[in-house]
Structure formats: C-alpha cells, structure tokens
Amino acid sequence: MMEPVKPVGMKNMSKKCDNTSVAIIVGDRAGKILLIERKKYNPGFALPAGHEDGDGAEAAAKKELFEEVGLNALIMNLVLIKNLKNPCKRDGGNYHVWVVFVAQKWEGEVKKSDEEVKSFIWADEKKVLDLARKLEKFIEENKLSTYDLPALVKATNESEGWKKNPGLEPSMYVLFKELKII
C-alpha cells in the first residue's frame, strides 16, 4: 500500500518526537511581546515555538518564527534552557528540553500561519498576567497542578471551554515563570 501524498505546503512532521523544543520571544517598541493562539495541539496562547527536528536550536527557532508568523529573526540571544515533562502529540513526546531565545532584532510584518495559528496578539504585561490567571483559574477549578504538566495538558486539550477561550498554554506558563515574565 502506498503512503498518502502530503498536499503541497504541508509541514513535513516526523512521527517520532525529538524531545527538543524551541521558543522565541519577540518584543515591540512598546514593550509588548508577540503571542500566538495555537490552532491545534496544545490550545492556548504561546510564544512562536516548535520542535527542533534536527535543525539545531537557533535555526529551528528562526524557522518556527517565520513559519508561524512570517517574521525573520536577525539577532537572537539564548535566555533559557529548561527540561519540562510536557507531552506532545508525537510518539515518545513525554518531555521536552526547551530552548528559549529573545529576538534582539527582527524584521517583517506579522502574517499568521493559517495552518498553525488561530490568532495573534501583542501582549503587554497586564495581558500576559491575565492569560496566566486564566490558566491558574482552570487549574484550581479542575483540581490540577502546574507540577503535573501531563495531566494539565491533557485537561486543556480535552476542554471545549478552554479551546474556545484559552489562557496561557501550560508549558509557556512554566517557562514564563522561570523567565520572570509572570
């Protein structure tokens, strides 16, 4: 039996998780950061991010930024490496080593990926805190914990209410805490 052919423009995604993810913080002159609302797994607001897929962290971060929002990172600084027990939809994806960069210099205008991004916002500190509080409320109402990311990710993925009106994506919440963004 022949493998189905992927339509042109579909991301070539491996079935096996490489357990490495990258994220990139993009700020504007007003001090706001760019957040995307994921269209698919894992629903919530997040930094542009994705798997390394063998590209190396910096190259992967640049690729994900361009794929998800059409921006080019020109100068980036590494700000965090953190191992999280956050699951993903790929086989073997039960943890990720997250590598987070800040785009010190970038160019382009935001153009969201129709395949991956539901919406995007430039979030000031208040908006980021509001999105974090929304996740904290979800955690409290569902008797969950940020220390159990697998259960939290599962719950946000299964909640229709969360999908319709999400807050900060669980892994981003942990990364933002570590980076003292929240």
**Predicted TM-score (pTM) above 0.85:** yes
Identity of the amino acid at 62: K
Mean pLDDT of 5-12: 38
Residue 155 makes CB contacts below 8 A (sequence gap 6+) with 138, 142, 144, 162
Q: What are phi and psi of 45, to 5 degrees?
A: -90, 140
**Does position 130 have pLDDT exceeding 80, yes or no?**
yes
Strand 33-38 to 45-46 pairing: antiparallel
Instruction: Please give the pLDDT value at position 81.
Output: 97
Q: Where are the alpha helices (DSSP H) in 16-71?
A: 57-69
How far apart are alpha carbons 23 and 84 in whole angstroms? 13
Q: Is the pLDDT of residue 5 over 50?
A: no
Instruction: Say if residue 140's pLDDT is above 70.
Output: yes
Distance of alpha carbon 52 from alpha carbon 17, whole angstroms: 10
Write the CB contacts of 26 (distance below 8 Å, at least 6 apart in sequence).
Answer: 33, 34, 47, 48, 65, 69, 71, 73, 103, 106
- What SS3 class is residue 30? coil
Would you place residue 11 in the very low, low, confident or very high pLDDT band (cuts 50, 70, 90)? very low
75 neighbors 103 (Cβ within 8 angstroms): yes
Q: What share of the chain is helix, strand, coil (3-state, %, to 5)?
A: 30, 30, 40
pLDDT tens readout for residues 47-82:
999 989 888 999 999 999 999 999 999 999 999 999
Write down the pLDDT at residue 49: 96
Residue 168 clears pLDDT 70, i.e. is over it: yes
Average pLDDT over residues 110-138: 97
Average pLDDT (120-132) is 98
Q: Which residues contact 141 (CB under 8 A, 6 or more apart)?
A: none
Supply the pLDDT for residue 16.
86
pLDDT number for residue 2: 36
Mean pLDDT of the chain: 90
Q: Classify residue 7 by burial, with Cβ atoms within 10 Å: 0-12, 13-18, 19+.
A: exposed
Q: Which of 136, 175, 133 is nearest to 152 (CA)?
A: 136
